[in-house]
Amino acid sequence: MRNLNKFYIDGEWVTPHSNQSFPVLNPATEEQLGSIYLGNLSDVDRAVAAARRAFETYSQTSPEQRIALLERLLVLSEERREELAQAMTTEMGAPITMSRDVQADAAVGHLSGILEALKQQILRETLANGDVMVREPIGVCGLITPWNWPINQIALKVLPALATGCTCVLKPSEHTPLSAIVYTQMIHDAGFPAGVFNMLHGNGPTVGSGLSRHTGVDMISFTGSSRAGIAVSKDAADTVKRVTLELGGKSPNIVFADCDLPERVSASVLECMYNTGQSCDAPTRLIVERSCYDQVLNIAKTTAENIGIGDPAQEGDHIGPLFDRIQFERVQAMIDQGITEGATLLCGGLGRPEGFDHGWYVRPTIFADVDNAMVIARQEIFGPVLVIIPFDDEEDAIRIANDTPYGLAAYLQTSDENRAERVAGRLRAGSVHINGGGFNYGSPFGGFKQSGNGREGGVHGLEDYQEIKTLHLG
């Protein structure tokens, strides 16, 4: 809990100007762990001023100098993986095995991917017409990250900023400050110059909007809800700063009858419920060929009913609670909505699982016989809730899959390679996972439509933090 009541600005842990406190809670026990201060506009000004001063010199460092700093951070990311994992298990309820294997691993994996991209990127090239094109850091970056994948999203924003020669101000979610504090100390210990990286806690309407509107900020990178992303874009419009967004999703998962149904359907249900359903790219709409529909329902029901639910501090393959009361109530309301709309409740339902009388635990829930026009098929629920929708043929499947305002990810299960290529080419999503193919560090991640713009990870993630300058030589 060290530095819980401090902000990190200009290379030091400092006392905030604001004295507005915010409780930090354990979602598994509902106990208060401590409290943070929520920043105000004076705190924002202080952090941005530090970043602007640091940009004058840090922007002139060589890639080799920045690589050396990042490699020191990589060593610390390995050494403090357990500390990061324990922080996320405590603050958001991710089971400790998952926190170690995936949540904390993001600090290592994304940094390795960024380092590889930075070493490969060409910063100066001569065009066919003889002009020279150079890539330069965009400036001071305001970075706003969510609570559901705390270190994953911090790494995907902070690392490309540091790699390209930008300076930054990070506003992590006020609900998950513990892991952000650990990561901030790692950056300090790696030796980055004062002011290059700054971190302050705060809420969206004050600190988030303050960064988005600030004349001293050149770029905003935001991950969160589509509603909040729209607000960030509007706030940033008056200063014409670059905005990259990674927003919501209602990802389709098309299941054709020719796939290995027991394997692929079971894996699909587990993927939806992973992280207690709190992932923006979770495959929450299972779109199933009618000829195998009943078989799929049986497999899905059995799989969901066998999902373990438990204390996130205990090792094992189970899911934990939702991250707070507000999310618990939202998910309960959406389950009630599905019942009201007339969908078939295949398993799960309202209330906590049996044996849990406290903590924000939710029963893994599946609705069958869902129409894609239903609210539960169109709105992001962000909990362990899966909807199953039948389709008649390939065209019908593609139509249903694309009939959503989102386009972050899509999933596809078929043994026909030609069909896989054909259907994947028509799905309007930033990534398509075919037969269980997973995400790899270093690949670009981002969405179509209202799932956002820009890409995170790899070379494409670096480019969003860079400006292009053309030299016309005489």
Q: Where are the alpha helices (DSSP H) in 257-391?
A: 261-273, 293-305, 325-341, 375-378
Residue type, position 395, single letter: E
What are 123's two structure tokens? 């910063």
Share of the chain above pLDDT 70, in %: 100
Beta strands in 26-94 (DSSP E): 32-38
d(CA 149, CA 281): 12
Domains of the chain: 7-247 (3.40.605.10), 252-434 (3.40.309.10)
**pLDDT value for 2:** 83
Q: Summarize the confidence of residues 53-70 as an average pLDDT.
A: 98
Confidence of residue 1 (pLDDT cuts 50, 70, 90): low
DSSP helix/strand/coil, 444: coil
Q: Which residues make Cβ contacts (< 8 Å) with residue 306, sequence separation at least 6?
A: none
Over residues 155-178, the pLDDT tens digits come to 999 999 999 999 999 999 999 999
The residue whose two tokens read 């305002």 is: 405
Residue with token string 């202080």: 46
Tell me if 251 sits within 8 A of 406, measured CB to CB.
Answer: yes
Q: Are 136 and 218 in contact (CB under 8 A)?
A: no
What is the distance between the alpha carbons of residues 249 and 405, in angstroms, rounded to a whole number? Answer: 8
Tens-place pLDDT, residues 35-55: 999 999 999 999 999 999 999
pTM over 0.95, yes/no: yes
Could you tell me if 150 and 279 are in contact, meaning their C-beta atoms sit under 8 angstroms apart?
no
Give the largest Cα separation in the chain, rounded.
Answer: 77
C-alpha to C-alpha distance for 23 and 267, rounded to whole angstroms? 37
Distance CA 29, CA 38 (A): 23
As a whole-number percent, the residues of the chain with pLDDT over 90 amount to 99
pLDDT beyond 70 at 246: yes
Residue-level length of the chain = 474
C-alpha dihedral over 228, 321, 439, 99, to 10 degrees? 110
Give Cα 154 to chain centroid, integer Å: 9
Decide if pLDDT at 207 tops 90.
yes
- Partners of 278 in the β-ladder: none
The residues carrying an active-site annotation are: 246
CB atoms within 10 A of CB 114: 28
